[in-house]
Chain A
Amino acid sequence: MADPEEAQFFPPIPVTDSPSNNKFELVLRMQHIRKTFPGVVALDDVSFELRKGEVHVLLGENGAGKSTLMKILSGAYQKSEGKILIDDQEVDIRSPRDAQELGISIIYQELNLVPHLSATANIFLGREPVRYGGLLDRRAMNQEARQILGGLGIDVDVRSPVSDLSVAQQQMVEVAKAISLDSKILIMDEPTSALTEREIKELFSRIRKLKAAGVSIIYISHRMEELFEIGDRVTVLRDGKNVGSHELSEITTADLIRLMVNRELTNQFPKVRAPQGSEVLKVENLNRRGSLTNISFVLHRGEVLGIAGLLGSGRTELARALFGADNIDSGKIYFKGKLQQTRSPRSAINSGIGFLTEDRKKQGLVLVLSVRDNVCLPSVDKFSRYGIVKGDEENNAAGKYIKELRIKTPSLNQKVTYLSGGNQQKVVLSKWLCCQADVLIFDEPTRGIDVGSKAEIYELMNQLTASGVGVIMISSELPELLGMSDRILVMHQGRISGEFTSEEATQEKLLHCALGE
C-alpha cells in the first residue's frame, strides 16, 4: 500500500506486512513479479507470500491478474521480471513439469482428467511405475490410489473410468494426484463452482485435513461467503497490482469489495444518452432448466441495458436463449410487440436481433473466410436471387461498413484471421448492421481488444442507440457497464437479482448483487 491517497481512502483496513512474522514458516515467496504481454502489463510488481499450512485466498475481478500469477507459479507462463523463492531457495519454473517437481500442483476449474481412463490411470498419468522394463505395475498403482483416496475419505472404485464419478469425486482424484506428487503447494481455481452445498462442506473438511498435514493452499474464488469459512488470509489483486494482503479475520466483505473494484475515474466511456423510444423487446418469465429462472425484462429503443453477473450466472445463457440458439422450457419473448413463435437463430435474425458472441473466434467469425464473406454471412439472402449471390452488391455493402466502421484491412478479400482483435470485432458488428438489426446483444464486447478500439466500439454503441436500436450489453467489466448503460440488470444463479438505473448503480452495489447478497 504505497499510495498515500489510497491509504487515506481505506483507513479501517489493517495491513499485515509479512516480513516481521517470524513465527510463520514461508513456503513460497513471489517477489516483484512482472508479466507483460504484447501491449499489456498483466502483472505489475506483484509480491505474494504463502505460509506453510495456510489457505490463502486470491481475490480480484476478472482480468485482475489472478490466473496470470497462478500460471506463472505453475509453469504455464514465464514471468518477465521478479523472483520466486520456495523454502528460501530461488527457483526457475520453466514448465508445468518443473512446477510439479517443486511440489506445486494446480487444479483448474475445468478439471484436467482423461475421462475414459480410471482414477488410478489419471493419478499416475505420465509417471506410471513399471516392472520388468515396461509392464505397468497396476497392482502397486491401484493400491496407492486406493490409499490416497481412502485417506481423503473418498470411497470409489479406482479402476472405473473417472467419467463415471461425480464432479466432486473427480476433483478429489485431482487432489489425490497432487498428493501422490507430494505437493506442498496446491492451487485451487474456483473449486466450488460446480459443487452442491453438501459437497462443498466435504471439500472444506478435506482442505482442513490437507492443511493439518502441512500443505499450503492458494484458493481462488468469487464466492465471498465461503472465503471467510475456509480462508486464513487473503490477497487482493486489482489491475495487475497487489493492493493488499490481510488476515481474513480482520477484514469485512465490504472492505474486500472496495479493494477489488476501486479504480481511477477516467473519461474512457463517451456515453451519449439517446432518447428512449417504444418497447422493442419484452421477455416474460423465461425459464431454462439449470440456467435461467423466471427472467422478465423489457428493452426500449435507444436504450443500453447492461447485464452484470459473474461467470456462470446465466448471462450468456440468457443471450443465447433470446437469440434462439438454445431452447427454453417456458416463457415468452415479444419482439416489437409480436410474440416470437419459432425459435432459431434464423428466425431471430429475421425479426431483427443480432448477437455479438463472447468468443469472437469460435462463435463470431469464420476465420478462414474473407472480410466480405463474414460481413454478409447472415444476410446473404438479401444479396442473392435464386440462390445465386450478386457479388458486386455484396462488395458494396461490405465496402460501406469497412469505411463507416474504419475497419483496417488491405481488401475485402482479406481473411479475417489476419485482422487484429478490434478490427475482427468490427467485422462481427458489421454482420449485424448489415442485417439492419433493431436489437443487438453484445456479450463481452470489448474483451481482448485494445483501448483505442474499445472507445470506437463505445462510439458505435452511441450511434446505434441514437438511430433507435436497443442494445443489451453483457459485461464482466463493471466500469464499462456503469459507463455505458442506461439501466443495469444483475444476474445471480440464473435469476435477475437486481435492477439499477445508471444513476443509482455503483460497483459495490452491482458486486453485492452479483454475489447474491
Chain B
Amino acid sequence: MKTRYLLSVYGRQFGTLFGLIALSIILWILTPHFMTVSNLLNVAQQTAIVAIIAAGMTFVIITAGIDLSVGSVLAFSGVVMATLLLRGLPLGLALLAGVGTGLACGLINGLLISVGRLPPFIATLGMMSVARGAALVFTEGRPVSGFSDTFRQIAVGEVLRIPAPVVIMLAVYLVAHFVLTRTKLGRYTYAIGGNEEASILSGVNVRLYRTLVYGLCGGLSGLAAIILTARLNSAQPIAGIMYELDAIAAVVIGGTSLIGGEGTVFGTLIGALIMGVLRNGLTLLGVSSFVQQIVIGSVIIVAVLFDMAWKTNRK
C-alpha cells in the first residue's frame, strides 16, 4: 500500500531516475573514464547553471506558463553585476545586484502576464530580446572581465571537495523542493496551473503569485549568471544563448507537464543531469557537437513519448 502510494506520486520520477542510471551504465561500459569521480563532478558542475535556471522554470511551467527570457536575463544580470563589481561595489552588494536584476526582469515578465494579460510566450519572448539588447548596450558589446580571486571562488572553490557550483545547485534544489511542497507559494503554484478559475474563486491572489513565480525564475537566472561569470572569469553580453531551451527540456524530461498543475523539482534535476551526462559522454566518445544536437533532441522527444505513454497507462 505504501509502495503503491509512493509509486503513484513519484513513479514518474523513478522512471526518469532509472533512465539516468541506465544511461550512465551504458556510458561507463563504452568509456571507462566516464565513471571517475573527477568526471562526474565535472558533469555536475557543467550541469549546475542550466539546472539552477531549470528549477525556476519548473515553477513557471507548473503554472502552465513558459519563460523564454532566462538566457537573456542571465546575460543581462551577469554584465550588470560584473560592471558594478569592477566599479568597486562590495562583493556582497554586487552579487545581490546580479540576483536583483534577474528578479526585476522576472517580475516585469510576471506583471506583463498577470496584469497586462499577455500570453507568457509573448511577454517572455519580448523580454528575451529586450534583456539581450540591454546587455549589449550596457557593455557596448564587449565582455566585462578582471575579477578578484575571492569572486572566482564561487566557481572554483570547493566545499568538502565538492565544487561550489554543485553545492549551490543542491542548495537551490532543496530550497525549491521545500518551497514547492511546504509553502503557500508552492501550493498556489500548483493550484494556478491546475485550475486558475477555481483558484480565483478560492480566494487565491492569482496575479500576485503568478508574478512572484516569474520573479523567482528571473532571480534564479541572476544566480546562475553569477556562477557563469565566475567560471568564465568574464561576463559576456552574449552568454546564455539557448539556455531557455535546455532549461525547458530539463523540466519536460523531468516529467512536468506543459499543461500545468503537475511536476516536481527533483524530476527537473534528473532531467538536467540526463542532458549533462549525455553531452559529457558523447564528448568523451568523440562524437562531434553537431551530432550531439541530434542525439539530445531525440532524447527529449523520446522522454516525452514515454511520459505520455506512462500517463495514458494510468488512466
Do A391 and B182 have beta carbons less than 8 Å apart? yes
Instruction: Output the residue of A345, A350, A362 with the most chain B CB within 10 A.
Output: A345
Do A413 and B9 have beta carbons less than 8 Å apart? yes
CA distance A356 to B67 in the complex (A): 34
CA distance A384 to B47 in the complex (A): 34
A368-B261, A378-B203 known; A363+B198 contact, CB < 8 A: yes
CA distance A357 to B199 in the complex (A): 12
**Cβ contacts under 8 Å, B183 to chain A:** 384, 387-389
A111 at the interface (CB under 8 A from B): no
A321 vs chain B, min Cβ distance (A): 13
A251 at the interface (CB under 8 A from B): no
A146 at the interface (CB under 8 A from B): no
CA distance A355 to B188 in the complex (A): 19
For window 342-380 of A, CB contacts with B under 8 Å fall at 344-346, 348-350, 355, 357, 362-369, 373, 377-378, 380
Out of A364, A377, A411, name the residue touching B204 (CB < 8 Å): A377
Contact with A along B100-124 (1 / 0, CB 8 A): 0000000000000000000000000
Do B202 and A378 have beta carbons less than 8 Å apart? yes
Do B182 and A389 have beta carbons less than 8 Å apart? yes
Out of B187, B195, B202, B261, name the residue touching A431 (CB < 8 Å): B202
Do B199 and A377 have beta carbons less than 8 Å apart? yes
A87 at the interface (CB under 8 A from B): no
**Cβ contacts under 8 Å, B261 to chain A:** 366, 368-369
Out of A363, A373, A413, name the residue touching B5 (CB < 8 Å): A413
**Cβ contacts under 8 Å, A367 to chain B:** 194-195
Do B201 and A323 have beta carbons less than 8 Å apart? yes
Out of A357, A373, A384, name the residue touching B191 (CB < 8 Å): A373
Do A377 and B205 have beta carbons less than 8 Å apart? no
Out of B194, B201, B203, name the residue touching A364 (CB < 8 Å): B201
**Cβ contacts under 8 Å, A368 to chain B:** 190, 194-195, 261-262
Out of B195, B203, B205, name the residue touching A366 (CB < 8 Å): B195
Do B201 and A373 have beta carbons less than 8 Å apart? no
CA distance A364 to B187 in the complex (A): 16
CA distance A411 to B186 in the complex (A): 21
A362 vs chain B, min Cβ distance (A): 6
CA distance A391 to B186 in the complex (A): 13
A255 at the interface (CB under 8 A from B): no
A325 at the interface (CB under 8 A from B): yes
Do A389 and B195 have beta carbons less than 8 Å apart? no
The chain B residue with its CB closest to the CB of A378 is B202
A381 at the interface (CB under 8 A from B): yes
Q: Give the interface size class of chain A.
A: 20 to 34
CA distance A348 to B203 in the complex (A): 8
CA distance A59 to B182 in the complex (A): 53
Out of A363, A369, A380, A388, name the residue touching B197 (CB < 8 Å): A363
**Cβ contacts under 8 Å, B185 to chain A:** 387
Out of A345, A350, A362, A388, name the residue touching B202 (CB < 8 Å): A345
Do B191 and A369 have beta carbons less than 8 Å apart? yes
The chain A residue with its CB closest to the CB of B196 is A366
**Cβ contacts under 8 Å, A387 to chain B:** 183-185
Do A357 and B201 have beta carbons less than 8 Å apart? yes
A369-B261, A389-B182 known; A345+B191 contact, CB < 8 A: no
Do B198 and A325 have beta carbons less than 8 Å apart? no
A380-B184, A384-B183, A413-B5 known; A362+B201 contact, CB < 8 A: no
**Cβ contacts under 8 Å, B201 to chain A:** 323, 325, 345, 355, 357, 363-364
CA distance A389 to B179 in the complex (A): 10
**Cβ contacts under 8 Å, A348 to chain B:** 203
A461 vs chain B, min Cβ distance (A): 20
Do B203 and A345 have beta carbons less than 8 Å apart? yes
CA distance A380 to B187 in the complex (A): 9
For window 241-266 of B, CB contacts with A under 8 Å fall at 261-262
A369-B190, A411-B5 known; A349+B198 contact, CB < 8 A: no
B89 at the interface (CB under 8 A from A): no
CA distance A384 to B184 in the complex (A): 7
A373-B190, A380-B187, A384-B184 known; A349+B195 contact, CB < 8 A: no
CA distance A378 to B190 in the complex (A): 14
Contact with A along B147-166 (1 / 0, CB 8 A): 00000000000000000000
A346-B205, A380-B187, A389-B187 known; A366+B199 contact, CB < 8 A: yes
Out of A364, A381, A413, name the residue touching B198 (CB < 8 Å): A364
**Cβ contacts under 8 Å, B204 to chain A:** 346, 377-378
**Cβ contacts under 8 Å, B195 to chain A:** 362-363, 365-368
A433 vs chain B, min Cβ distance (A): 14
Do A373 and B187 have beta carbons less than 8 Å apart? yes
A346-B205, A368-B262, A377-B191 known; A362+B184 contact, CB < 8 A: no
B177 vs chain A, min Cβ distance (A): 13
Out of B9, B184, B194, B262, name the residue touching A381 (CB < 8 Å): B184
CA distance A365 to B198 in the complex (A): 6
B263 vs chain A, min Cβ distance (A): 10
**Cβ contacts under 8 Å, B184 to chain A:** 380-381, 384, 387-389
**Cβ contacts under 8 Å, B302 to chain A:** none
CA distance A388 to B262 in the complex (A): 20
Do A366 and B5 have beta carbons less than 8 Å apart? no
**Cβ contacts under 8 Å, B191 to chain A:** 366, 369, 373, 377
**Cβ contacts under 8 Å, B200 to chain A:** 325, 345
**Cβ contacts under 8 Å, A431 to chain B:** 202
**Cβ contacts under 8 Å, B203 to chain A:** 344-346, 348-350, 378
Q: What are the 3 closest A-B residue pairs judged by CB atoms, nearest first?
A: A366-B194, A368-B261, A349-B203
| A interface with B by C-beta (< 8 Å) | 323, 325, 344-346, 348-350, 355, 357, 362-369, 373, 377-378, 380-381, 384, 387-389, 391, 411, 413, 431
27 residue pairs from A and B, CB less than 8 Å apart:
A325-B200, A345-B201, A346-B203, A348-B203, A349-B203, A357-B198, A357-B201, A362-B195, A362-B197, A365-B198, A366-B261, A367-B194, A368-B261, A369-B190, A373-B191, A377-B187, A377-B191, A377-B202, A377-B204, A378-B204, A380-B187, A381-B184, A387-B185, A388-B182, A388-B183, A411-B5, A413-B9
